[in-house]
């Protein structure tokens, strides 16, 4: 499940950053292709803003041809978008066809297919997994004894528990900051394992991130 439902702009008709070109392909198609590379038989869901539907179809047919992508309309928040996508998967989750769900931020085009595979395998074994990298305490002026991890996506969880967590969150009006926050609230007994994240798995937020991402892609031979 790749999330790309951001509104694009609070100011008017600007492009949502996930649709920006990055070394010849859109950020979102890089995120999507990396996500599906390791799982050729899995379902791929792209959660979009309804206003971006025609752009999404155009880009998928041009840059992700050969991949069957299911488009789902997102909501006002990331949490609501995740819930919409999970609702779309209800029959498959209940029948057991889908047993692990990976959620990835569309603005992270540099996560490697190896990371997706590791997160999925860990979640299948333990119930939940997310990539994390440690933060140098000096970087954010912490005491050396304090440990802070920088959490990334893709995050993965067993599908039935994830769906149940989001259903309960809906009833409680709980909005989590990310998927793991919701899982930890409703299923604290499930092990949410940290796997080693990737330094290059940046979320495109600042203009500088685009420049860095171009350099990383150049190093990788634009793959």
Partner 1 sequence: MTAELHCAHCDEATLHTLVYAGRLLVSTTCQICHTQVKHEPGDLRIQYVKDLENRIVTKPRRLWTRFWRSPVAVFWSFPRKAIEQPGKIWNEVKELFK
Backbone angles phi, psi at 152, to 5 degrees: -120, -175
Other CB atoms within 10 Å distance of the CB of residue 102: 24
CA distance 71 to 49: 10
Closer CB to partner 1, 63 or 164, in the complex: 63
Q: Which of 169, 17, 187, 203 is nearest to 79 (CA)?
A: 169
57 binds partner 1, rule: CB under 8 A: no
Q: Does 23 bind partner 1 (CB under 8 A)?
A: yes
Among 54, 65, 171, 173, contact with partner 1 (rule: CB under 8 A)? 65
Asked if 61 and 28 touch (Cβ cutoff 8 Å), the reply is: no
Angle at 202 between CA 197 and CA 207, to 5 degrees: 170
Q: Considering only 19-27, 87-95, 124-132, 145-153, which stretch makes contact with partner 1 by CB under 8 A?
A: 19-27
Q: What are the tokens at 198?
A: 């990737």
191 lies in the binding site for partner 1 (CB under 8 A):
no
Q: Is 10 a binder of partner 1 (CB under 8 A)?
A: yes
The answer to the question of residue 54 lying near partner 1 (CB under 8 A) is: no
Beta carbon of residue 143, minimum distance to partner 1 (angstroms, whole number): 26
Q: Are 64 and 49 in contact (CB under 8 A)?
A: no
- Considering only the stretches 7-15, 35-43, 50-58, 183-191, report the one whose residues sit in contact with partner 1 under the rule CB under 8 A: 7-15
9 binds partner 1 (CB under 8 A): yes
Binding site for partner 1 (CB under 8 A): 8-12, 14-17, 20-24, 61-62, 65, 204-208, 210-211, 214, 218, 222
């Amino acid at each position: 499940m790749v999330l790309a439902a951001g509104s694009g702009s609070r100011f008017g008709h600007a492009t949502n950053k996930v649709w920006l070109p990055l070394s010849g392909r859109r950020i979102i198609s890089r995120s999507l292709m990396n996500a599906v590379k390791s799982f050729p038989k899995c379902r791929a869901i792209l959660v979009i803003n309804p206003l971006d539907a025609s752009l999404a179809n155009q880009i998928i047919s041009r840059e992700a041809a050969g991949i069957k992508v299911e488009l789902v309309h997102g909501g006002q928040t990331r949490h609501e978008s995740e819930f919409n996508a999970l609702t779309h998967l209800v029959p498959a989750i209940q029948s057991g066809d889908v047993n692990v769900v990976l959620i990835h931020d569309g603005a992270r085009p540099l996560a490697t297919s190896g990371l997706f595979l590791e997160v999925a395998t860990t979640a299948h074994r333990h119930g939940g997994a997310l990539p994390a990298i440690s933060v140098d305490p000096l970087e954010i002026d912490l005491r050396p004894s304090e440990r802070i991890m920088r959490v990334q996506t893709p995050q993965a969880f067993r599908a039935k528990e994830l769906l149940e967590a989001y259903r309960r969150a809906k009833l409680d009006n709980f909005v989590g900051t990310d998927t793991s926050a919701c899982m930890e609230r409703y299923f604290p007994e499930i092990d949410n394992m940290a796997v080693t994240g990737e330094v290059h798995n940046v979320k495109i937020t600042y203009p500088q991130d685009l420049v860095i991402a171009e350099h990383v892609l150049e190093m990788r031979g634009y793959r």
